[in-house]
């Protein structure tokens, strides 16, 4: 490992915390600051340095492992692998570095703050979905803006491969000009969650189009942690809207956790939210609003960890296989 470095997390940046950290690690690997064979900082150390909970760091390291970039060695730590995946990451990222540097230098020369470039660029991508070339995208993900769609995208890429173009269900409902017929026509498969499957099936543009619904469950390690809480502990599950919080609560109840008081609540109920945060012993929140809640209750706020259902893993893997074979 070359020199000392520290990761930087920005709670106001329009990317989930785990994605920020994961991408920074990838850049350090691509720039040979972190070399194959080097160990990443221990989970406890990094959690304390960044003021994050251990589950968030573990989630990042697990995702990097699943992408073939690191190995998790019990008793030794997280080591960067000398793998084909690592070599491919370096080959893909190194040509980007001078281009990014050039854009940033021009921005600075014009007297603009980097945030004046980055935040509007991110917003533009959200509005017009230009981050994926439609001529090369293979799958269309349809979800809500309030879902952890970055996580959904990464899981699709992880199991099915290919490129993903994301459309928000709110834009479909509000008849935003998305050129939806052209988008749906070029995609090999539309992917959504069970929550929106029926709604999409009723659209004329999805007739004769292959569609796939995927599902997510709570991380087992997190449920085990919750099950170890003292009898009568008050635990809040917080999401941007109440339905998401209720899903979190149902996951805990479905795991047989009944010895604690479970309180699901959405960010849309502000007064109730502030009262609940004050009285509960522990808080689990979706990653998209984690920083907001963490600022209000830093000592008891944790990310609600998710994982793809086993059946959905199988469906996406099969979808990826058929796509590569050209049978879809």
Instruction: Domain ranges for the chain, please list them.
Output: 17-94, 133-215+310-325, 218-306
Report the pLDDT averaged over residues 187-206: 87
pLDDT score for 134: 46
Q: Rank 88-97, 129-138, 215-224 by mean pLDDT and report only the highest.
A: 215-224
Tokens of 56: 């968030």
CB atoms within 10 A of CB 324: 12
Look up the CATH architecture of domain 133-215+310-325: 3-Layer(aba) Sandwich (3.40)
Cα-based angle 241, 243, 249 (whole degrees, multiple of 5):
110
pLDDT score for 24: 92
Tokens of 40: 């990443």
Q: Answer yes or no: same fold for 17-94 and 218-306.
A: no
pLDDT score for 130: 45
Q: What is the pTM of this model?
A: 0.58
pLDDT score for 98: 81
* Alpha-helix residue ranges (DSSP H) falling in the chain: 17-30, 43-50, 54-66, 84-93, 96-109, 114-128, 149-160, 169-173, 180-186, 194-201, 220-227, 242-254, 270-279, 290-296, 310-325
pLDDT score for 19: 83
Report the pLDDT averaged over residues 296-304: 90
pLDDT score for 132: 46
Burial class for 317, CB neighbours closer than 10 Å (0-12, 13-18, 19+): middle
Do 307 and 216 form a contact (C-beta atoms < 8 A)? yes
Top pLDDT among 124 and 64 is at 64
pLDDT score for 8: 87
Report the pLDDT averaged over residues 256-266: 95
pLDDT at residue 145 is higher than 60? yes
Domain covering 218-306 assigned CATH 3.30.30.60 in the classification: no
3-state SS assignment for residue 80: strand
pLDDT at residue 41 is higher than 70? yes
Report the pLDDT averaged over residues 131-160: 77
Report the pLDDT averaged over residues 188-216: 87
Q: Rank 30-39, 68-77, 227-236, 263-272 by mean pLDDT and report only the highest.
A: 227-236
pLDDT at residue 277 is higher than 90? yes
pLDDT score for 258: 94
CATH of 17-94, one of 3.30.1370.60, 3.40.50.720, 1.10.10.10, 1.25.40.340: 1.10.10.10
pLDDT score for 233: 97
């Amino acid at each position: 490992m070359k020199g000392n470095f520290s990761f930087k997390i920005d709670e106001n940046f329009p990317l989930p915390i785990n994605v920020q950290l994961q991408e920074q690690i990838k850049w350090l690997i691509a720039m040979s600051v972190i070399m194959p064979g080097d160990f990443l900082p221990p989970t406890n150390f990094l959690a304390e340095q960044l003021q994050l909970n251990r589950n968030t760091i573990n989630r990042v390291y697990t995702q990097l492992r699943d992408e073939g970039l690191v190995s998790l060695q019990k008793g030794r730590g997280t080591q960067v692998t000398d793998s084909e995946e690592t070599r491919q990451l370096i080959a893909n990222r190194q040509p980007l570095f001078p281009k990014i540097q050039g854009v940033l230098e021009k921005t600075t020369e014009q007297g603009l703050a980097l945030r004046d470039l980055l935040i509007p660029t991110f917003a533009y991508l959200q509005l017009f979905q230009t981050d994926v070339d439609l001529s090369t995208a293979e799958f269309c993900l349809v979800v809500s803006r309030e879902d952890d769609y970055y996580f959904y995208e990464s899981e699709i890429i992880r199991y099915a491969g290919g490129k993903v173009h994301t459309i928000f269900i709110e834009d479909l409902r509000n008849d935003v000009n998305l050129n939806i017929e052209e988008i749906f026509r070029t995609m090999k498969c539309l992917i959504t969650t069970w929550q929106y499957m029926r709604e999409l099936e009723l659209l004329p543009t999805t007739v004769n189009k292959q569609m796939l619904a995927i599902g997510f469950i709570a991380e087992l390690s997190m449920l085990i942690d919750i099950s170890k809480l003292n009898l009568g502990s008050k635990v809040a599950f917080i999401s941007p809207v109440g339905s998401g919080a209720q899903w979190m609560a149902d996951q805990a109840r479905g795991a047989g956790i009944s010895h604690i008081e479970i309180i699901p609540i959405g960010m849309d109920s502000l007064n109730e939210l502030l009262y609940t945060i004050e009285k509960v012993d522990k808080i689990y929140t979706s990653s998209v609003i984690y920083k907001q809640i963490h600022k209000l209750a830093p000592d008891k706020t944790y990310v609600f960890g998710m994982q793809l259902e086993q059946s959905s893993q199988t469906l996406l893997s099969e979808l990826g296989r058929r796509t590569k074979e050209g049978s879809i």
